[in-house]
């Protein structure tokens, strides 16, 4: 991982009543963290598994390699590692966390929630825990939930995690999908803006869904509709199925519209944004969005070349890496925008 930033001074947290007094309280990201499994799977390695080649994968997706979790590494293990790093940077102890939200499409189990497993690993004993099922959009959905609970005074600190072990759900015989996905986790700690910071924090967010497109991307089997039976497993219904071209089209329009709309709600233009952190699925999707927003690619933070599409973890990992690499400074405004199965999409403007 990249070098750690200095640990923030633990701020004296404003009381919930202070939060309620003078309009909407600024809710800030107090710390970020990420964790990627050590094992790197290159495009060359995929050439040994399915009929594909590095040139096709790189030119169609921008992905050169991805990380694959070990058989003894679960989604909760990846998430707990990212969470510890985020808490350390925030200067918040696990015992102070009131809420743990985990965005994942590849939970350790259907239940209990992966958030509960992360709670146990961290020893965050007073936290309420749940998972958010909004596929790749889940991390921003969770940020939105946490922000309102903090601003409303219901809780003080929230730990929001995006964690995936998508390699466990990939059909390794399907070249259309197996080249796209990877494993990893990112996390953020949210709380009221601490003393000494002036940025307005999470300024605005937007969430949307369209269940009419539920069948273009998902894992159809293994749950209650298509339970685990030999016949269903033979058809690999417990693996990711995707209509690639339609997903691509929907991703471009949903993320473009979500970007435009959240900026309008915030009263900002794209020129007010220093760094755009998009869902890291495919470089051509990002090219198309950059084109429609009329903004240079240099303004986007990208790491999909190294990690592929890590689902709900992707934007969380990218936020942490951009932060640690100094891609934005206090006062800078970020635009985060995501898209996923459901369909779901979300965007957020954060003033750091």
* 148 catalytic residue (yes or no): no
d(CA 131, CA 117): 11
Cβ contact 208:344 at 8 Å: yes
Least Å from the CB of residue 352 to ligand ACO: 26
Judged by CB under 6 A, does residue 225 bind ligand ACO?
no
Q: Which stretch binds ligand ACO (CB under 6 A): 117-125, 192-200, 239-247, 255-263?
A: 239-247
Query: Restricting to residues 130-169, which ones interact with ligand ACO according to CB under 6 A?
Result: 135-136
DSSP string for residues in 297-315? GGGB---HHHH-B-GGGHH
Question: What DSSP character marks residue 31?
Answer: E
Least Å from the CB of residue 136 to ligand ACO: 4
Give exposure, 261-278, as e/b (b: 16+ Cβ within 10 Å).
ebbeebebeeeebbbbbb
Judged by CB under 6 A, does residue 106 bind ligand ACO?
no
Neighbours of 222 (CB within 10 A): 17
Least Å from the CB of residue 57 to ligand ACO: 6
Judged by CB under 6 A, the number of residues near ligand ACO is 25
Cβ contact 171:178 at 8 Å: yes
Q: Which of 99, 179, 237, 317 binds ligand ACO (CB under 6 A)?
A: 179
Pairing of strands 99-103, 128-132: parallel
- The strands making up 128-132's β-sheet, listed across from edge to edge, are 27-35, 183-192, 158-165, 99-103, 128-132
Exactly one of 279, 282, 303, 323 is catalytic; which is it? 279
Interface pattern 253-282 for ligand ACO (x via CB under 6 A): ----------------------------xx
Judged by CB under 6 A, does residue 52 bind ligand ACO?
yes
Least Å from the CB of residue 46 to ligand ACO: 8
Report in angstroms the alpha-carbon separations of 138 from 244, 267, 342, 343: 20, 25, 11, 11
d(CA 283, CA 60): 8
Judged by CB under 6 A, does residue 58 bind ligand ACO?
no
Report in angstroms the alpha-carbon separations of 290 from 42, 44, 269, 327: 27, 29, 14, 18
Q: Which stretch binds ligand ACO (CB under 6 A): 14-22, 54-62, 91-99, 267-275?
A: 54-62
Pairing of strands 128-132, 344-351: unpaired
Judged by CB under 6 A, does residue 236 bind ligand ACO?
no
> For residue 232, what is the enclosing H or E element?
helix 230-234
* 309 catalytic residue (yes or no): yes
Judged by CB under 6 A, does residue 249 bind ligand ACO?
no
Q: Which of 244, 260, 268, 327 binds ligand ACO (CB under 6 A)?
A: 244
Q: Which of 5, 13, 40, 60 binds ligand ACO (CB under 6 A)?
A: 60
Cβ contact 8:90 at 8 Å: yes
Q: Which stretch binds ligand ACO (CB under 6 A): 37-45, 84-92, 294-302, 338-346?
A: 338-346
Q: Which is nearer to ligand ACO, 143 or 180 (CB)?
A: 180
Judged by CB under 6 A, does residue 47 bind ligand ACO?
no
* 323 catalytic residue (yes or no): no
Residues in the chain: 352
Q: Which of 204, 247, 259, 266 binds ligand ACO (CB under 6 A)?
A: 247
Judged by CB under 6 A, does residue 217 bind ligand ACO?
yes
Binding site residues, ligand ACO, CB under 6 A: 52, 56-57, 60-61, 135-136, 175-176, 179, 217, 242, 244-245, 247-248, 251, 281-282, 285, 309, 311, 339-341
- Active centre residues (catalytic): 136, 279, 309
């Amino acid at each position: 991982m990249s070098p750690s930033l200095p640990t923030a001074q633990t701020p004296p947290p404003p009381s919930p009543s202070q939060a309620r007094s003078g309009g909407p309280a600024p809710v800030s990201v107090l710390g970020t963290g990420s964790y990627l499994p050590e094992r790197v799977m290159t495009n060359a390695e995929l050439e040994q598994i399915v009929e594909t080649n590095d040139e096709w994968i790189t030119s169609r997706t921008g992905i050169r390699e991805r990380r694959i979790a070990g058989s003894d590494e679960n989604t909760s293990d990846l998430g707990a590692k990212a969470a510890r790093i985020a808490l350390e940077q925030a200067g918040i102890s696990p015992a102070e966390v009131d809420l743990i939200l985990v965005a994942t499409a590849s939970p350790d189990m259907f239940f209990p929630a992966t958030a509960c497993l992360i709670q146990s690993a961290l020893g965050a004993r007073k936290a309420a825990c749940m998972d958010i099922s909004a596929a790749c959009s889940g991390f921003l959905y969770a940020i939105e939930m946490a922000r309102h609970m903090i601003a409303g005074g219901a809780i003080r600190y929230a730990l929001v995690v995006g964690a995936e072990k998508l390699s466990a759900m990939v059909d390794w015989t399907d070249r259309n999908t197996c080249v796209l996905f990877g494993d990893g986790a990112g996390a953020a700690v949210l709380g009221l803006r601490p003393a000494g910071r002036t940025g307005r924090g999470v300024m605005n967010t937007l969430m949307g869904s369209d269940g009419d497109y539920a069948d273009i991307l998902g894992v159809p089997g293994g749950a209650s509709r298509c339970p685990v039976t030999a016949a269903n497993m033979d058809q690999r219904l417990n693996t990711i199925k995707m209509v690639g071209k339609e997903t691509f089209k929907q991703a471009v329009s949903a993320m473009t519209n979500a970007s435009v709309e959240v900026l309008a709600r915030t009263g900002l233009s794209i020129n007010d944004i220093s760094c755009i952190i998009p869902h890291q699925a495919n470089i051509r999707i990002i090219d198309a969005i950059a084109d429609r927003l009329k903004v240079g690619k240099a303004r986007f933070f990208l790491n999909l070349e190294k990690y592929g599409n890590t689902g709900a973890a992707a934007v969380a990992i990218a936020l942490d890496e951009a932060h640690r690499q100094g891609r934005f400074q206090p006062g800078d405004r970020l635009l985060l925008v995501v898209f996923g199965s459901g369909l779901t999409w979300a965007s957020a403007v954060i003033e750091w």
